[in-house]
Amino acid sequence: MPSPLTKPRPRTPRANFSPSPQEPCFCGSGKPFRDCCGSAKRDRLPPHGVGIVPGFLDPDICRSWITHLHRQPRLPLGTVEAPDRGISHSETTHGGDRITDLVKAGRLRRDIDRRVERAYQDIIAPLRGRRFAWFEYPQVLRYEPGGWYRAHADSEVCSPDGRSWTKGIDRDISLLLYLNDDFQGGELRFLKFRYSHRPRAGDLVFFPSDHRYVHQAEPVKTGLRWVVASWAAFTDEPRVRDQPPPASIML
Ligand SMILES: [Zn+2]
């Protein structure tokens, strides 16, 4: 079995993924990007790499979790500049870029961790044919009206000129678990694919953490939007750090 800590590699910037409408789609379908993963049609499929499992979580469980979470302490996610880069890392930006609260899971901690672990191990790992080394402690996020999260990639930061991206954290898969849908706005939008997903309670959504999958949580218009977020690393992916992120559960 490969070590969960493969050797860190130098952080080489990757050219900005920016397919033109007429070029062959990156998914290998042979169709032009505009008729495939970059289609503007309303009834299109999710882009290659984005997995959606409706009803992964039972609606009754979603409701009971939210009832508990309403009473839990929460804190606004604050601004932290990545000290070694001088660029805000996607995960830690705030100000106008990200308006959301982190809610303490309390007695749900183990239950949430276990459900998220099952999503990684039973659904995503077999689909991708790879094994996970760890996942980061799932975060419970609460968006009020006006809350949003500006376009970002979960593992990479953009150069100031916008031409290249560099991996800053060892995340290969991003996971979202939606707990409710009684709000307006708040779609999950993948900018490079012109694709939006309207969350439904119980939806599991996952996708690669790199900048091809730059995404935005659109502003919530009414209601509260509840979502659980986590990130995981494959065993066989080269690392950029010599340690897993601090709040990680080893698999
Ligand atoms: Zn495609």
- Whether residue 115 has pLDDT greater than 60: yes
Q: How far is the CA of 20 from the centre of ligand 1 (A)?
A: 12
**Is the residue at 88 inside a domain?**
yes
What is the model's pLDDT at position 129?
Answer: 98
* Structure confidence at residue 118 (pLDDT): 98
**Averaged pLDDT, 161-184:** 96
Pairing of strands 248-250, 51-53: unpaired
Q: Which helix (H) or strand (E) holds 134?
A: strand 132-136
The chain-wide mean pLDDT, for the chain, equals 90
Residues above pLDDT 90, as percent of the chain: 80
Whether the CA torsion 46, 47, 48, 52 is positive or negative: it is negative
- What is the percent of the chain where pLDDT is above 70? 90
29 domain residue, yes or no: no
27 located within any domain: no
In a domain, 19, yes or no: no
**Residue 87 pLDDT:** 34
What confidence tens digit (pLDDT) does each residue in 189-227 have? 999 999 999 999 999 999 999 999 999 999 999 999 999
For residue 95, the model assigns a pLDDT of 53
Mean pLDDT over 53-62 rounds to 97
* Ligand 1 centroid – CA 214 distance (Å): 16
- How high is the pLDDT of residue 86? 33
Q: Is residue 165 part of a domain?
A: yes
Position 2 in a domain: no
Q: Is residue 9 part of a domain?
A: no
Task: Report how far ligand 1's centroid is from the alpha carbon of 125 (Å).
Answer: 21
Number of domains in the chain: 1
DSSP, collapsed to helix, strand or coil, labels residue 80 as coil
Question: Beta partners for 79?
Answer: none
| DSSP 8-state secondary structure symbol assigned to residue 238 | P
* 2-11, 84-93, 106-115, 216-225: the lowest-pLDDT one: 84-93
CB 138 within 8 A of CB 228: yes
Q: What residues flank ion ligand 1 with Cβ within 5 A?
A: 25, 27, 29, 36-37, 48
Residue 31 lies in a domain: no
Domain that holds residue 109: 45-250
pLDDT score recorded for residue 2: 46
Q: What is the CATH number of the domain that holds 123?
A: 2.60.120.620
